[in-house]
Amino acid sequence: MLQRIASASVICAALCATASAQVTTYGTACHDNGGTAPTLASSLFGAPIGGSNLTISVSGGVPNSSFLLFLGLAQANLPLGYGCDLLMPSIVANIGLPLDPGGALSFAAPLPSVPFTFSFTMQAFCIDPSTQLGASSTNGVQVTLNPNPAPAGLVINEVDYDQPGTDATEFVEILNPTSGTISLTGISMVLVNGSNNLSYVDVDLGPAGSLLPGEYLVIGQAGAVALVPSGTKTLLLPVVTNGTIQNGSPDGVALVDKVAATLIDALSYEGSMTAVTITGVAGTFNLVEGTATTFSDSTPFTNSMIRFPNGSDSNDASADWWLSALPSPGAANTP
């Protein structure tokens, strides 16, 4: 969807990648008879696996004119004359973007999460009446997406530990992102206190049975459980005055296999917890995957901590965990 934003006169296409991506810029901009050639730039930032952000921007061109952004499936050089080439063999989409000298236009679209390597290209043209061709082209950009590794097991997918006023809708959401059914026998969701690195709540997930591929389990207060979609598996948190889940600086959540004495998944929020003790399990555990996330679920806003894209697990909390303004217990995460 096109959206007007207050910034310099540049057109940006911001896309969220759900797999690792490489961006290659190739070719040179062309124009004839002194026409204006716009510039197509690209950048990739964020973690290389999951949650990466690809930004494509088009700048320059003829004021009060328009750009055309072409998207195709592969790189090729098709001569158009006057020294200009179209850098893809088959166009799958073209988007007309009017250049607004008083601001900028932007649009967002998801890149596919694919089980195979996928490449596409893009090129922009500026409608330029001063040229014989009537348009000046940018250089081309090729984007290659590589599939994420297959999820290894259950993940803590969303946590809402702080609400405005009384904490009455706290929850922890567990997701099975794998292709197989997973038994919950012997598995616990454990809350850990950052002031002493000790567990303070232990919820046995065994009564929920098992989780099918793509199925959720929400462990929450009654107010949160009432919000989950019909048919979603739920368990209640113990009732504690002023909220069950502690509010950080830091605190943590762990998913533990009590039989195997192993840590399945974890989240350390509002700081790092790297040596915690869980009642009934020998040893200490690190609740930080990679680099700790800097996001926090703090009032006065209604937020939740989420894995985004939904279920993504690159084993780097700073890349996997985001803040959502739309808590969604028992449903896919949205930013």
Q: What is the pLDDT of residues 48-78, one digit of tens each?
A: 434 455 666 667 666 666 777 777 666 566 6
Residue 40's closest CA among 137, 175, 134?
A: 137
Q: Is 96 helix (H, G, I), strand (E, B) or coil?
A: strand
Neighbours of 53 (CB within 10 A): 15
Provide the pLDDT for residue 109. 46
Q: Give me 303's structure tokens.
A: 């937020």
pLDDT class of 107 with cuts at 50, 70, 90: very low
CA atoms within 13 A on the CB side of 130: 13
Return the bridge partners of 57, or none: 12, 41
Provide the pLDDT for residue 1. 22
pLDDT above 90 for 148: no
Provide the pLDDT for residue 82. 59
pLDDT class of 85 with cuts at 50, 70, 90: low
Q: Give me 139's structure tokens.
A: 């250089």
pLDDT class of 289 with cuts at 50, 70, 90: very high
How confident is the model over 107-120, as a mean pLDDT?
Answer: 58
Provide the pLDDT for residue 5. 24
Mean pLDDT of the chain: 78
State the architecture of 155-324 in CATH terms. Sandwich (2.60)
Domain boundaries, the chain: 3-146, 155-324
Q: What percent of the chain has pLDDT over 70?
A: 67
How confident is the model over 1-8, as a mean pLDDT?
Answer: 24
pTM for this model (two decimals): 0.67
pLDDT class of 200 with cuts at 50, 70, 90: very high
Provide the pLDDT for residue 274. 97
Residue 74's closest CA among 113, 30, 123?
A: 123
Q: Is the dihedral of CA 193, 196, 200, 203 positive or negative?
A: positive
What are the distances in angstroms from CA 96 to CA 65, 121, 126, 127, 195? 11, 17, 10, 10, 55
Residue 177 to residue 307: CA distance in whole angstroms:
12
Helix ranges (DSSP H) in the chain: 222-225, 317-320
- Could you read off the pLDDT of 263-272 as tens digits, one per residue? 999 999 999 9
120 within 8 A of 42, measured Cβ to Cβ: no
Most confident range, picked from 30-39, 126-135, 263-272:
263-272
pLDDT above 50 for 35: yes
